[in-house]
Structure 1
Amino acid sequence: MFRIALCDDNEQFIKFENEIIQDYFLSSGENCSIDSYNCGADLIKDDNKLANYNLILLDCEMPGISGLEAAEVIREKGINVPIAFSTNYYDFTIKGYHYGLVRYLVKTEDSFRDNIIECIKYVKSIKKENEYLSIKVNGVMQTYKQSDIVWITSDKHYIKLFVKNEAEDTWNCSEIKVRMKLEDITDSLSSAFLRVHNRNIVNMDYISEFSPYFVVLNTSSQTKTNISMTVRNKRDLHKKYYAYKGSLL
């Protein structure tokens, strides 16, 4: 899933951008998720969501917090998501690149449609989709390699991530607790993750076997853990698991 945030105070232009992006992903057979914002203040509210976009496309000039100011806040938060600016002018070019801009798209150019598609293709080429997951832990943005996340479970108003730690020939899991819901993280996970229960999401690369009532995970180099599974969906979960394993062959 390729996730894009569009931020522009012109609703008609956001609809135009949406159309371009949706047409591109539909024609390429890929999935995308587009969130639209009419002001910079709304965009920068949720750090966890912000950190897991694949691309943020900002209008330079907006009332309140401008695109330039929003980009500055994003970088101050330690979030390194690719950012592109859209504007009617070239006046902000030098200042914009100060924030690690990947592209500068001029709305008035006839080539805008082609340029936004080229921008998406470029971002896809420089960073493998879903390779990392960024979340705020104890007020600090942390980034984890998704292939090291073994299992995620919900615990009341929190989620717990069990992340692989390697030491020479052995490995175990560290537990990371974050105040958020599983639903807040689901769309940011790669195809390796399978929701086996309303409380549990597992990385299929660590599945050892299925028992009648559990998914058995390798949670260290010596330990296996039974993870609760929704039994009535067991057949469907098996099919998804074998489809995923087959896609790796």
Structure 2
Amino acid sequence: MKIAICDDDISFTSKLEEIIKQESVNYGKKPEIDVFFDGETLVKSIEDGQSYSMIFLDIEMKRMNGITAARRIRQLDRYTLIIYISSYDDYLKELFEVEPFRFISKPLQLQKLKQYFGEAIRKIEGLNNIYSYSYNKEEYTVPIKEIVYFESNKRLINIRLNDGTEQSFYGKLNNVEKEIQKINKHFIRIHQSFLVNYSYVKKMTYSEVVLEHNYDELVLRISEDRRSTVRRKVCEIAGGLQLYND
């Protein structure tokens, strides 16, 4: 679990980092914590590909304040939980538009922090089980464990579910792949048009994959230009085990 702390008060960030480490033990977590002292550096890290499950963010900072930083972050990552920690409480209108998870006032209230941290952990665990998308201005959610694969057909993304049904929305498979990798690492891009859930892989050779779901089997081709990447990804998921039938 990756956590970011962004506050220009060095002594405060050290104290907060220590509390988070101590509380994480109670939930069986070993977080990787990155500390930033301004919003600009935090945003740059996320733009460069870093993702965080949770961000503790101060509002008043000299180089890019927390409001501006959160707006940029929301454009890049809609899943990360933002917890504001600030001595200022008159930013409610601005805070609302960036969907903060919680707000903690300074000076730090330890019990509130512990409470909100626990709630954030439970929220993250829930997000890890759900994929959400929008279609015709409506929001939909799908249990990730039920998704067999995503298929791209021109501008349409089809989601094949374990019960044999399909759901669709407009989008790009490249974007779906980036989003799903943030919440579940068991999806593999085997083809320009297919992103498959490794949990449904029954058999895999160097050139094709056999998916089994709802007592049915489906054979999909692994495109030639992706075969080496797919092989490495499978080994990562399986912990380095050889799972191919060559």
Q: Same fold (TM over 0.5)?
A: yes
**Which of residues 174, 181, 185 in structure 2 aligns to 1:178?**
174
In the alignment, the residues of structure 2 paired with residue 25 and residue 33 of structure 1 have an alpha-carbon distance, to the nearest angstrom, of 11
Q: Is the 8 A contact 1:54 1:123 kept in 2?
A: no
Q: In the alignment, which residue of structure 1 is the partner of 2:128?
A: 130
* Aligned-partner residue type, residue 90 of structure 2: F
- The TM-score with structure 2 as length reference comes to 0.59
Displacement of 1:26: 2.6
Q: Which runs of 5+ in 2 are unaligned?
A: 133-139, 151-156
Change in Cα spacing, 1:95 to 1:120, as seen in structure 2 (3 Å) is: same
**Structure 1 counterpart SS, 2:119:** helix
* Aligned-partner residue type, residue 13 of structure 2: I
Q: What's the RMSD between the two structures over aligned residues?
A: 4.9
**Which of residues 95, 113, 118 in structure 1 aligns to 2:115?**
118
Q: Is the 8 A contact 2:209 2:219 kept in 1?
A: no
Q: Which runs of 5+ in 1 are unaligned?
A: 135-142, 152-161, 242-249
Q: Is the 8 A contact 1:10 1:38 kept in 2?
A: yes
Displacement of 1:203: 2.9
In the alignment, the residues of structure 2 paired with residue 33 and residue 163 of structure 1 have an alpha-carbon distance, to the nearest angstrom, of 35
Matched, 1:164 2:164: no
Give the structure, 1 or 2, with the largest relative contact order (CA under 8 Å, sep 6 or more): 1
In the alignment, the residues of structure 2 paired with residue 226 and residue 213 of structure 1 have an alpha-carbon distance, to the nearest angstrom, of 6
In the alignment, the residues of structure 1 paired with residue 26 and residue 81 of structure 2 have an alpha-carbon distance, to the nearest angstrom, of 23
| Identical positions, percent | 20
Q: How does 1:10-25 map to 2 (within 5 A)?
A: 10-25=9-24
In the alignment, the residues of structure 2 paired with residue 54 and residue 169 of structure 1 have an alpha-carbon distance, to the nearest angstrom, of 32
Q: How does 1:1-249 map to 2 (within 5 A)?
A: 2-45=1-44, 46=46, 49=49, 53-75=52-74, 79=78, 81-87=80-86, 89-92=87-90, 94-95=92-93, 97-99=95-97, 100-109=99-108, 111-112=109-110, 114-126=111-123, 128-132=126-130, 146-147=144-145, 148=147, 150=149, 164-165=159-160, 169=164, 176-178=172-174, 188-190=182-184, 193=186, 203-209=197-203, 216-218=210-212, 223-225=218-220, 237=238
